[in-house]
Structures are given as C-alpha cells and as structure tokens.
Structure 1
Amino acid sequence: MDINALQTLLFVPANRPERFDKALASGADAIIIDLEDAVPASEKDAASSALSQWLESQPANSVLIRINGTGSPWFSQDTSVCRSPAVAGIVVPKVDNPEALTELAHLSEKPLLPFIESALAFSRLNELAQVPNVARLLFGKLDLAFDLGMDYPPPAGEPLDETAFLYARSQLVLCSRVHGLGAPIDAVYTALYDAKGLTDYARQGMRLGFGGFLLIHPAQVAPANKALTPTSAQISWAKQVLAAEQREKGAVVAVSGNMVDIPVMARAKRIMAQLP
C-alpha cells in the first residue's frame, strides 16, 4: 500500500468484523479499522482480539488501524495488534503531544497518520509534522469544532457552512508541503446519503490542496471517486491550455482571455494525468 497515493479512506468499526471484507470490496483505496471512537469501552478487548485473528489471514500492508490514544488503557494492546504484517499504517487519534507521538514512532516503524483535531495540536503542528514516520496529516473537524466551542454541526436540514474551517484546513495543507509529507486527508462528511453534497465538499477540499477524504459509509465511496475525476469543463480547459502551450512552445499566452504561464500549464498537465 502506497500511503501517499491514498485518496479515499473508509472507516469500519473494529467490533463489526462481519463488515471488514465488505469494506475492502467497497472501492475505497483503503479501509481504516477503528479501535477508538467506533468501539464502546466494554467491547474494546473483544474487538481487539477478533481483529488480531482476522489480520492473520490478510495480505501484507492491506489495512490501516486507528488505535486508541497514547494515554488510554488500550494503547499497548492496540500497538501490539498493529505489529501484524497486514497493517500498513497506524492512524493516531487526538494527537497534540510531539513527545508522545515520537515514543509511538520508536515502538513501531510503520507509517503514522496523526489526527489533528484540537487547538493545541494546531499550535504544535510543525513539531508534529516532523516526528519520525509521520506520513500524512488527517483533519479531525468535529473534535476541533467541539474544542473551539463552534456552532457546528448545524441541525439536520440546515446548510453546512465550512468557511469557519478554512484557516485550519489551509494550515494542514501548507504544513504538509513544507515538511515534505503527502497531501493531508480531509475530514468526514457526516451526511451518509447526500451524494451531491459529498462530491461538492470533496471538490472544495481538493481546491484547497487536500489529497484525500475520510469516509464513514460505503455509500460515500462513489461520490468521493466522482469528485476525484476531472469534470468535463476541467478537461476542456486543460486541452485548450496544452494546445496553446504546444503552439507557442511554452511561452506565456492568452487562453479564453486569461493569461497562461508555466504553472498554469503544469496544472493542465496534472488534470490530464488524472484521467483513467
């Protein structure tokens, strides 16, 4: 599994082993088997045991695991589960302490995907991004909203206003780029069956520079994949730009009344490279 190439990551609760194979067949790039928030405390030991047994029959580097936090009673148990060759990387929740994350990096050589979901975590973002084995940053929007006392999410039926998260999202994108990490993974879209809403949400994340999305239901996989596919308008624009580049041999040129220079041409090439 190439951690940096992942774009759609689907959560599945660790206490629902009957869903593991279905999740793997959902079309998502990877699944995250969740030992943390999705599993009640009373079921964590049983879920860990069942997961360990299931992993024994899985190919190497085939799944990601979200463990319980470094200060939780289940942390050691979870890191033991993650020693399985089937585990490609460790998703770490509620990360805000670079020292604790470094200790985890010393316990495991596997890629780490820390959730950034508190004001304290954002204040230490550069330190966290430089911890060994950190591969990509994940945005924990709902926990951040609670931590900051934000009026989010709104009641059902009211529109989702994501503008309050623009600063946080941009910090993740910029920090990832500065420290040579893969593009960050954007937060979940909580409406399970709103295909258009998810596609629009994912495209907004892509415009900001996110490289992937967290999903919470198999029904979200197809809309997310649609968002990752260039639109007909983007393809038409890219073809015009590249035709102008070839005609003018790379010089600055106007296309449809807009200046096109080297970075714009590079953007057009990136769009065409995304086509199946």
Structure 2
Amino acid sequence: MDINALQTLLFVPANRPERFDKALASGADAIIIDLEDAVPAAEKDAACTNLSGWLDKQPPNSVLVRINGTGSPWFTQDCSLCRSPAVAAIVVPKAEDPEALKELAHITEKPLLPFVESALAFTRLNEIAAASGVARLLFGKLDLALDLGMDYPPPAGEPLDESAFLFARSQLVMCSRVHGLAAPLDAIYTAIHDPKGLTAYARQGMRLGFGGFLLIHPAQVAPAQQALAPTSAQISWARHILEAEQRVKGAVVAVSGNMVDTPVMARARRIMESASGMLK
C-alpha cells in the first residue's frame, strides 16, 4: 500500500467484524479499522482480540488501524496488534506530543498518520509533521470544534458551514508541503446521505490543497471519487491553456482575457495528467 497515494479512506468500527470485508470491497483506496471512538469502552478488549484474528488472515500491508490514545488503558495492546504484517500504517488519535509519536513509530515500526484535532496540536504542528515515522497528516475537525467551543456541527437540517475551519485546513496543507509530506487528508463530512454536499465539500478541500478525504460510510465513496476527478470544465480549460502553451512555447500569453504563465501551464498539465490517470 502506497500511503502517499491514498485518496479515499473509509472508517469501519473494530467491533463490527461483519463489516470489514464489505468495507474492503467498497471501492475506497483503503480502510481504517477504528479501535478508538467507534468502539465503546466495554467492547474494546473483545474488538482488539477479534481484529487480531482477522488480521492474521489478511495479506501484508492491506489495512490501516486507528488505535486508542497513549493515555488510555488499551494503548499497549493496540500497539502489539499493530505489529501484524497486515497493518500498513497506524492512525493516531489526538496527536499532540511529537516525542510520543517518535516512540510509537520506534515501537511498532509502522508509518504513522496522526490526527491533528486540538489547539495544542496546531501550536506544535511543525514538530508533529517533522517527527520521525510520520507519513501523513489527518484533520480531525469534530474534536477541534469541541476543543475550541465552536458552534459546530449545526442542528439537523441546517447547512454545514465549513468556513470556520479554513484557517486550520490551510495550516495542514502548508505544513505538509514544508516538511515534504504528501498532501494531508481532509476531515469527514458528517452527512452520510448527501452526495451533492459531500462532492462540494471534497472539491473545496481539493482547492485548498488536500490530497484525499476520510469517509464514514460506503455510500460516500462514489461521491468522493467523483469529486477527485477533474470536471469537464477543468479539462476544457486545461486543453486551451496547453494549446496556447504550444503556440508560444512556454512564454506568457493571454487566454480568454486572462494571463497565463508558467504556474498556470503547470496546473493545466496536472489536470490533464489526473484526467488521464482516472481513465486507466
């Protein structure tokens, strides 16, 4: 599994083993089996035991696992479970301590995907991104909203206004770039059966520079993948840009009344490459 190439990651509760194979067949790039928030405390030991047996039957590097936090009673057993060859990487909740991340990577010998989801984590973002073993950053907006006392999520039926998270999301993108990490993965979209809303949310994340999305239901996989594909308008625009580039051999040129220079041409090439990749 190429952690850097993942774009759609689907959560599945660790206490629902009947869903594991269905999640693998959902079309998502990878699944995250969740031992943390999705599992009640009374079921965590059993979930860990059952998951361990299931992992023994899986091919190497086939799934990701979200463990319980370092201060929890289940942390040690979760770390032991993650030594399984089937575990490609560990999703770390509420990551705030860069030294703890380094130690976890050393103990498990697995890449880490830390959730950045608190004010303290954002103040230590550079140190977290630079910690040895960290492969990619994840955004946890629900815990961040709770930590900051934000008015989110809204009551059912009211629109999901994501503008309050713009600063936090942009910080993740910028920091990942500075530290040479793959583009971060954006937070979940909480409305399960709202494909149009999910597609719009995902495209906003792509405009900000996110490289993929966390999903909570198989019904979200197709809309997320649709959002990842360049639109017909983007492809048409890119073709016009690249045709102009060929005429002027890379010089600055006006296309449809807009200046086009080297970065714009590079963006057009990226769109066409992405469109070509989607067809393979």
> TM-score, length-normalised on structure 1?
0.99
1:160 positional shift: 1.1
Matched, 1:37 2:37: yes
Which residue matches 2:96? 96
Which residue matches 2:264? 264
Matched, 1:9 2:4: no
Which residue matches 1:195? 195
Which residue matches 1:218? 218
**Mapped contact 2:6–2:212 kept (Cα < 8 A):** yes
1:61 positional shift: 0.4
Distance 1:245 1:222 in 2: 34
Give a deviation string over 1:122-148, Cα, whole Å, max 9, x none: 000001111101011000000000000
**Mapped contact 2:101–2:133 kept (Cα < 8 A):** no
Counterparts in 2 of 1:51-66, with a 5 A limit? Answer: 51-66=51-66
3-state DSSP of counterpart to 1:274 = helix
1:15 positional shift: 0.4
Which residue matches 1:27? 27
Matched, 1:237 2:203: no
Which residue matches 2:181? 181
Distance 1:108 1:241 in 2: 48
Distance 1:255 1:133 in 2: 45
> TM-score, length-normalised on structure 2?
0.98
Letter in 2 for 1:101: L
Give a deviation string over 1:77-107, Cα, whole Å, max 9, x none: 0011100101000000001111211211221
Counterparts in 2 of 1:76-115, with a 5 A limit? Answer: 76-115=76-115
**Mapped contact 2:139–2:184 kept (Cα < 8 A):** yes
**Mapped contact 2:83–2:109 kept (Cα < 8 A):** no
**Mapped contact 2:80–2:108 kept (Cα < 8 A):** no
3-state DSSP of counterpart to 1:33 = strand
Which residue matches 2:171? 171
Distance 1:274 1:170 in 2: 22
3-state DSSP of counterpart to 1:115 = strand
Name which of structure 1's ranges 105-114 and 203-212 shifts more when overlaid on structure 2. Answer: 105-114
Distance 2:194 2:29 in 1: 20
Name which of structure 1's ranges 6-15 and 247-256 shifts more when overlaid on structure 2. Answer: 247-256
Which residue matches 2:120? 120
Which residue matches 2:47? 47
Letter in 2 for 1:125: L
Displaced runs of 4 or more, over 4 A: none
Structure 1 alignment gaps of length 5 or more = none
Give a deviation string over 1:162-186, Cα, whole Å, max 9, x none: 1111100000000000000110000
Which residue matches 1:208? 208
Structure 2 alignment gaps of length 5 or more = none
Distance 2:272 2:58 in 1: 35
3-state DSSP of counterpart to 2:15 = coil
Give a deviation string over 1:240-274, Cα, whole Å, max 9, x none: 00000111111111111101111100100110111
Number of residue pairs the alignment of both structures matches: 276
1:161 positional shift: 1.0
Distance 1:29 1:259 in 2: 37
Q: CA RMSD in A?
A: 0.6
Distance 2:98 2:250 in 1: 45
Distance 1:142 1:55 in 2: 29
Which residue matches 2:145? 145
